[in-house]
Structure 1
Amino acid sequence: MTEPAPLRAGLLDAVPHGFFGRRGGASAGLHAGLNVGLGSDDDEAAVHANRAAALAAVVPGACLLTPYQVHSATCVTLDAPFVERPRADALVTDRIGLAIGVVTADCAPVLLADAQANIVGAAHAGWRGALDGVTDVTVAAMVARGARAERIVAAIGPCIARASYEVDDAFRQRFEAADGANERFFVDARDEHHRFDLEGYVAHRLAAAGVTRVTALGRDTYAEAADFFSYRRATHRGEPSYGRQIAIIAPAG
């Protein structure tokens, strides 16, 4: 197995963290690389080996916890490892020895930290979760734990970019119904279709929740096939399955 090399964000240097793509790992075929999707059709042993390799690259010896993601705006605060994965799309913890993560395949992974309070969060922000406020509830859970919004920094990892994200009128209307100003996250494409800036929208929601220091890695999961898994790309190619990448963060030990 080739050892994976995480992408890191300077704003999060004070805490262990990493955004991973598909490079490295033990999976083969359609899932070739560092597929960490527990719900994929990949070999289960390879998936667990990939998750262990990613964890070792960020915080060796920690316990990695990821939720059962359902495109919700639900965040769970953790004090200890869980037996059954909660149906949620964000996790928060301040417990040393726990590492939290989310998996994605076009949706935006968001890692957050208040380094002074040593409280971290991880959120899976697809369009539905982002619109419903998954980053809002993650920031609120961190504040409830003892963080301060003005101290929280956030990084948005690799996700589908606007140039690759074509949507229809009904999609756009959902966002404009929530806030007319959301029109700025769309540009016209072909007739009755638009391109949506998921990364920009997530950054906007973080700022609206009081997180003033936000960075985005600017990597396009759809276009960069050698580096990232993409649900939309796999669908357009007619492939029967697809892999997932992971983003991990942990309190500083």
Structure 2
Amino acid sequence: MVSSLRGDHQTKIPIWQWQQWDGLPYLTCTLLQNWKHGFLTRQFYPYPPEDLTEVLHPKAITYRVKQVHGCLVLTPPEIKIKMATKTIKDTFPCADGLITNDVNQAVWVASADCVPVLIGDIKTHQVAAVHAGWRGTAQRIIPETIAYFQHFGSILEHLRIAMGPAISGEVYQVSEQVAAEVGLSLFKEEGISSPRKILEALQTMLDSPILSDSKPGRVRLDIRRVNELQLYKLGIKTDQVAIAPHCTYQEPDNFFSYRRTQQKKVQWSGIVSGDCPK
């Protein structure tokens, strides 16, 4: 089964495809065809990344973090150092982004409504996995990860970015204060800072990331659209970005949604770094 991407790309439109592993469904995106990757479904629960890496590449080394809705990005060597100093109760270091520095490294993030983001560089073959909820989006976790790529030698035009299944804007009700806090991430350079002015600026944007809500003081917020706009402000082109046409809240057969059930169950998304050029 094939799902196409919404968007205004002038080049070949990325395609989202359902794959199967041992009878279990997961999603891939042609934008990331250079790498073994997958946005896994709830059917893989409760297996951890250490077991799930086999789905992508049985010989890859697995890396994960304790997600805290922040903007810290770690490399595998940093994860190893932090794990060596952690107590038994707190095995994984706190972060919300992982970027590879070697070949055959599988990086994973968990999500239940937040945005799982997988990124690859078509020249260096480095990859990253990012967890972007509304708090991480407000702190610009994806641009922070892009900055790491650039620090390690990447140039923007070589990056490919896929945002997986997450809660869609049409059903994600938040307070106006939350929407303004997230929206501020788009307007710091313009000097727009008051919540009222931020909301007004968001509402006048083409394909606005916020929709009206019948409840006073509330709006509907499209987190993936905000992250997409952050990327465009960096200089990323539309054909470098793909957004999965799937909503975790509205598709209970395939995805967990904390907003829908209040249960702390997640699906994992991972990507494996490829061979770096000599």
TM-score range with shorter-chain normalisation? 0.7 to 0.9
Number of residue pairs the alignment of both structures matches: 226
The alpha-carbon deviation at position 81 of structure 1 amounts to 6.2
Larger radius of gyration: 2
Partner of residue 138, structure 2: 131
Choose the corresponding residue for 2:178, options 171, 175, 179: 171
The alpha-carbon deviation at position 204 of structure 1 amounts to 1.2
* Cα contact 1:79–1:93 (8 A) shared by 2: no
Partner of residue 56, structure 1: 54
Partner of residue 162, structure 1: 169
Partner of residue 232, structure 2: 207
Residues 146-161 of structure 1: matches in 2 within 5 Å? 146-161=153-168
Which range moves more in the overlay, 170-179 or 226-235?
170-179
Letter in 2 for 1:164: V
- Does the alignment pair 1:187 with 2:193? no
Could you tell me which runs of 5 or more consecutive residues in structure 1 were left unpaired when the two chains were aligned. Answer: 26-33, 36-46, 236-240
Letter in 2 for 1:144: H
Q: State the identity as a percent.
A: 27
User: Which contiguous aligned blocks of 4+ residues in structure 1 show a shift greater than 6 angstroms?
Assistant: none
**Superposition TM-score, scaled by structure 2 size:** 0.76
1:214-243: CA deviations, max 9, x gaps?
0001210011011001111112xxxxx331
Q: What SS does the aligned partner of 1:14 have?
A: coil
CA distance in 1, matches of 2:235, 2:54: 32
The alpha-carbon deviation at position 164 of structure 1 amounts to 1.6
Letter in 1 for 2:255: F
Letter in 1 for 2:123: Q
Relative to 1, partners in 2 of residues 1:176 and 1:113: Cα closer, same or farther, differing over 3 Å? closer
* Cα contact 1:80–1:95 (8 A) shared by 2: no
CA distance in 1, matches of 2:184, 2:96: 23
Could you tell me which runs of 5 or more consecutive residues in structure 2 were left unpaired when the two chains were aligned. Answer: 1-20, 84-90, 188-197
Please provide the CA RMSD for this pair: 1.9
Which range moves more in the overlay, 59-68 or 168-177?
168-177
